[in-house]
C-alpha cells in the first residue's frame, strides 16, 4: 500500500501550515523533525521568539509519539513535551504527529472555543488528505485507521467483564453514551455559568473514564472538577476536549469491530 514519501511531507504540510497561520487565533506554527532522539525545528510561521531549536520529548510525549498513527494530535496549555515545569502562558499548544514529524500550533492567549474549533477543523480536514494519499478507505474504522488505543484500556475492560464479550460490548456502549451526554452537559453548564454543576458532572464523568481504563482522562477531568473559578474551568474544558473526543473515537472503533 503506498505511503506518503518522507521527502514529500514538507510539501504536503505547506498548505496546512499556511492555512493555520492565517487564523487570527494562531500565534505561531512550527515544524519539528526527529534527529537522533531529539526534535529540531526545521520551519516556522508566525510570531516565534525564545523557543529553542531542539528538544528531547519527555517520557509521556515519547510514548504518545511512538504509539501515534500516521496522524494524531493532542492539546496542552504549555510545552509539556519540552519543559513540564514551565507555567502556563495562557496559550494552547496543539501537537500534531504526522508520520514521524511533529507540528506545533501555538494559539494566542485565551483563544475562544469557536476559534479552537476552526483550528481543529483544519487539522481534521488535513487528516482526510493524509488518509487519501495513503490509499485508505476512510469511511469507517479499521485497525489500520484507528492506530493503537491511547486512552481506552481494553484489557482492563475485558477483566471487568471477566472475558464476556457481550458484557464488554455493553460496557463500551454505555460508556460511549455517558461520555456524550456528560461532555455536552459540562459544556452547557459552563456556558450558563454554573460552575458547581459542571464540576459535579466532571466528577461523575470520571467514573466513566475509570470504567474504560482511561486514567489520563480521569486525571484531566479531575483538574476540571477542581477548577477554582469559571475562567479556569473553561480553560480546562478546552484543554481536555480532544481527550474526550479521542476516547469516543476509540470506543466507536471498538464497538464497530465487535459487531
pTM equals 0.55
Together in a domain, 12 and 127: yes
CATH number at residue 213: 1.20.120
Write out the residue range of the structural domain in which residue 201 sits. Answer: 145-258
Tell me the average pLDDT across 202-220. 91
Per the structure, how many domains does the chain have?
A: 2
Residue after which a domain boundary falls, among 133, 160, 175 = 133
Together in a domain, 81 and 151: no
Contacts of 187 (CB under 8 A, 6+ apart): 237
Together in a domain, 10 and 44: yes
Together in a domain, 154 and 125: no
Bridge-based pairing of strands 54-55 and 93-98 is unpaired
Together in a domain, 110 and 159: no
**Is residue 230 within 8 Å of residue 195, measured between CB atoms?**
yes
What pLDDT digit, counting tens, does each position of 42-90 carry? 888 887 655 557 777 777 777 767 665 556 666 665 554 455 444 456 6
The answer to whether position 139 is within a domain reads: no
Rg over CA atoms, the chain: 19
The answer to whether position 140 is within a domain reads: no
Position 25 pLDDT exceeds 70: yes
The answer to whether position 18 is within a domain reads: yes
Amino acid at each position: 500500500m503506498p505511503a506518503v514519501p518522507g521527502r514529500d511531507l514538507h510539501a504536503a504540510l505547506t498548505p496546512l501550515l499556511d492555512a493555520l497561520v492565517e487564523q487570527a487565533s494562531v500565534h505561531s506554527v512550527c515544524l519539528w523533525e526527529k534527529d537522533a532522539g531529539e526534535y529540531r525545528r526545521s520551519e516556522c510561521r508566525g510570531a516565534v521568539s525564545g523557543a529553542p531549536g531542539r528538544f528531547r520529548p519527555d517520557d509521556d510525549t515519547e510514548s504518545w509519539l511512538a504509539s501515534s498513527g500516521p496522524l494524531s494530535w493532542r492539546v496542552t496549555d504549555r510545552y509539556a513535551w519540552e519543559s513540564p515545569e514551565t507555567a502556563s502562558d495562557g496559550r494552547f499548544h496543539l501537537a500534531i504527529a504526522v508520520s514521524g514529524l511533529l507540528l506545533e500550533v501555538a494559539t494566542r492567549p485565551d483563544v475562544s472555543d469557536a476559534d479552537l474549533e476552526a483550528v481543529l477543523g483544519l487539522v481534521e480536514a488535513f487528516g482526510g488528505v493524509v488518509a487519501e494519499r495513503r490509499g485508505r478507505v476512510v469511511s469507517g474504522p479499521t485497525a489500520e485507521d484507528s492506530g493503537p488505543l491511547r486512552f481506552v484500556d481494553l484489557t482492563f475492560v475485558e477483566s471487568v467483564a471477566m472475558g464476556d464479550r457481550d458484557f464488554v460490548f455493553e460496557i463500551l456502549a454505555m460508556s460511549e453514551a455517558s461520555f456524550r451526554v456528560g461532555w455536552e452537559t459540562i459544556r452547557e453548564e459552563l456556558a450558563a455559568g454554573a460552575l458547581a454543576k459542571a464540576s459535579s458532572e466532571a466528577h461523575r464523568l470520571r467514573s466513566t473514564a475509570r470504567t474504560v481504563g482511561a486514567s489520563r482522562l480521569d486525571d484531566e477531568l479531575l483538574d476540571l472538577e477542581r477548577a477554582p473559578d469559571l475562567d479556569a474551568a473553561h480553560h480546562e474544558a478546552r484543554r481536555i476536549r480532544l481527550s474526550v473526543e479521542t476516547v469516543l473515537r476509540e470506543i466507536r472503533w471498538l464497538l464497530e469491530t465487535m459487531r
